[in-house]
Structure 1
Amino acid sequence: MKTTPPDLKAKDIWSRLTVLTVTHNGGEVIGGMLQTVPTEAPLIVVDNASTDDSLDIVNKIAPHARLIVNEIGLGYGNGMNCGLREVETEFALLVNPDSILTEEAIISLVQAADQFPDGGLFGPSILNPDGSVELSHDVNLFNRKVLGKRVGEVCPEGPLCADFVSGAVMLLRMSAAKAVNFFDPEIFLYYEDDDICMRFRQAGYGVILVPDAVITHIGGGSVRPNQAYYWEKFWHISWSRLYFEKKYHGLSQSRKLAWKYACKYALKALGYTVVLKRSKAWRDAARCAGALGFLRGKRASVVPAVDIK
């Protein structure tokens, strides 16, 4: 990995990046995030058909933001793609609406990008609301079970190349992001961050954790929780995992895994129904449905199908 001395003064940093967030009924959290975005930074907010007060909050707290309002929910990756196509700066800082930024963290990410010109994607250290560290980097998805639980692991002291960094906050070098065609439009929700990290690395760009950049991730607050939301969540967790398998390991392997999921989660849903644990039965029924939808060839995305490498 090539390195260059960091620009400690971060000259013209706010002219070099655009902050980008996607919201869908995120009114409970987006205000807190917007208040931590430096006013000097260009800001794009993509709204995925919110029916709560999200847009009112954006207009009140960040009236300078450029709003892109989708009439239907396009999912996270496709929502980000709507914003990324409008970015004209060198970098884009992708921020979940339930994340809390600091100016120092943003500067550290850009300095790391200047220090490592071969890096395409940079992720910060992430704290939970109680101040504990949420380990936000990992190996690729296919090797995580092999390594097991990360008991006793400590946060790195300096930048490192990783297979994966969390999608809660990501700094993208726009030239690299354009080279990999942004997020995969076939993924509606979940595993889109795994996929884009994979494609950055396949294209020869580094994925780099920057421990000196520290943000807080509230977590679980991007949308209003209800029964329909939980069904959608676990349906897409199942479907997207299987799509990821198909994309990188082929159709045959993905269908084997899909049948495994369908049988496993059908039995679990039945078992939880018998013991009256309805929320868990609902969760696993959604996972089973996602696997069956994948086997039937159902697309998760609502945008027209396109080829992506």
Structure 2
Amino acid sequence: MATKDIWSRLTILTVTHNGGQVVGNMLETVPAEASLIVVDNASTDDTLDIVRSLAPKAKLICNEVGLGYGNGMNCGLKVVETEFALLVNPDSVLTEEAITKLVEAADSFPEGGLFGPTVLNPDGSIELSHDVNMFARSSLGKRVGEVSPEGPISADFVSGAVVLLRMAAGREVGFFDPEIFLYYEDDDICTRLRQAGHSVILVPSAVITHIGGGSVRPNRAYYWEKFWHISWSRLYFEKKYHGASSARRLGWRYALRYALKALGYTLVWNRTKAWRDAARCAGALGFLFGKRASVVPIATA
């Protein structure tokens, strides 16, 4: 069933931001029959030229400011009319076989809301793309030598590099949390889907490649933004599911820990790590003092 009418049932959706180094590789692997939506978050490089050249039939949504990953996805999800949406990072490489297997799994498991493939690194090694929930991970230690599942499994989490979303389930939970600008938005949507009674399923037979590290141009401002948001979003996640008191305690631990680490790296002249941990400290302090990460206006009744 899935293979016969797959392209009438599915829309591919990606969010770009200065991804000119990688987006072409992804677009070249989008099947010609597929509907494609590209949401661009105010790119200033050649991303839009590449999209218009390689995917002239794509629906292109251009945001004047960067809204972050989840809110960028929400812009596209609001106009998706098909049964499924395949959410794709611009630094991923697709195959028609992988897409087909994800849709076949969705037909086999109607309770599933989100389906993730096996993710390979460029060298062919497996990038672990499923996990237990955020709050249980620290108790498991490093996942060294872990054997990949042979068949579909229900997981707490699947990586957002490439996922198939059942649109009915996505609409039920409100898609991505608009308060999260970057990072942990995939943890959050997996959590909310499971709370709503939808399974999150890893489909090992569906295999994609994740190039990684090339979604935006790397520079000092990018690294500051990255680690600021990693810190802020983790604390927001803590508050959302464990309450404000738990988030405040964790936030002050973060602020102190990363301030001391930044100072230590400064003293030994390791500027890169000092910059990273200063950004982590700043993200924690930003959260503690009420700074919003999202640039999307707060919805009012």
Interval containing the TM-score (normalised by the shorter chain): over 0.9
In structure 2, stretches of 5+ residues that fail to align are: none
Give the distance between the partners of 2:28 and 2:294, measured in 1 at CA: 31
- Residue 43 of structure 2 is matched in structure 1 by 50
Give the distance between the partners of 2:75 and 2:145, measured in 1 at CA: 40
- Residue 158 of structure 1 is matched in structure 2 by 151
Give the distance between the partners of 1:305 and 1:96, measured in 2 at CA: 26
Give the distance between the partners of 1:266 and 1:133, measured in 2 at CA: 34
Amino acid at match of 1:256: R
RMSD, aligned α-carbons = 0.8
Deviation at 1:81, TM superposition (A): 0.1
Give the distance between the partners of 1:151 and 1:42, measured in 2 at CA: 39
- Residue 197 of structure 2 is matched in structure 1 by 204
Give the distance between the partners of 2:24 and 2:10, measured in 1 at CA: 21
- Residue 3 of structure 1 is matched in structure 2 by none
Deviation at 1:11, TM superposition (A): 1.5
Query: Residues 226-245 of structure 1 correspond to what in structure 2 (within 5 A)?
Result: 226-245=219-238
Could you list the per-position Cα deviations for residues 23-46 of structure 1 after superposition, in whole angstroms to 9, with x for gaps in the alignment? Answer: 000000000000000010100000
Q: Give yes or no for contact 1:185–1:306 (8 Å, CA) kept in 2.
A: no
Q: Determine whether 1:90 maps to 2:83.
A: yes
Give the distance between the partners of 2:50 and 2:93, measured in 1 at CA: 16
Could you list the per-position Cα deviations for residues 199-232 of structure 1 after superposition, in whole angstroms to 9, with x for gaps in the alignment? Answer: 0000000000000100000011100000000000
Q: Give yes or no for contact 1:77–1:192 (8 Å, CA) kept in 2.
A: yes
Q: Give yes or no for contact 1:105–1:212 (8 Å, CA) kept in 2.
A: yes
Q: Determine whether 1:105 maps to 2:93.
A: no
Deviation at 1:258, TM superposition (A): 0.2
Give the distance between the partners of 1:142 and 1:304, measured in 2 at CA: 29
- Residue 256 of structure 1 is matched in structure 2 by 249
Specify which of 275, 287, 290 is matched with residue 282 of structure 1. Answer: 275
Give the distance between the partners of 1:253 and 1:204, measured in 2 at CA: 26
- Residue 261 of structure 2 is matched in structure 1 by 268
Deviation at 1:306, TM superposition (A): 3.6
Specify which of 59, 69, 75 is matched with residue 62 of structure 2. Answer: 69
Q: Any idea what SS the aligned residue of 1:200 has?
A: helix
- Residue 294 of structure 1 is matched in structure 2 by 287
Give the distance between the partners of 2:298 and 2:234, measured in 1 at CA: 18
Give the distance between the partners of 1:305 and 1:218, measured in 2 at CA: 34
In structure 1, stretches of 5+ residues that fail to align are: 1-6
* TM-score, normalised via structure 2 length: 0.99
Query: Residues 23-38 of structure 1 correspond to what in structure 2 (within 5 A)?
Result: 23-38=16-31
Q: Any idea what SS the aligned residue of 1:26 has?
A: coil
Amino acid at match of 2:259: A
Give the distance between the partners of 1:112 and 1:40, measured in 2 at CA: 20
* TM-score, normalised via structure 1 length: 0.96
Q: Any idea what SS the aligned residue of 1:214 has?
A: strand
Percent of paired sites with the same residue: 79
Amino acid at match of 2:20: G
How many residues are paired up?
300
- Residue 34 of structure 2 is matched in structure 1 by 41
Could you list the per-position Cα deviations for residues 251-293 of structure 1 after superposition, in whole angstroms to 9, with x for gaps in the alignment? Answer: 0000000000000000000000000000000000000000000
Specify which of 131, 141, 160 is matched with residue 138 of structure 1. Answer: 131
Amino acid at match of 2:21: E
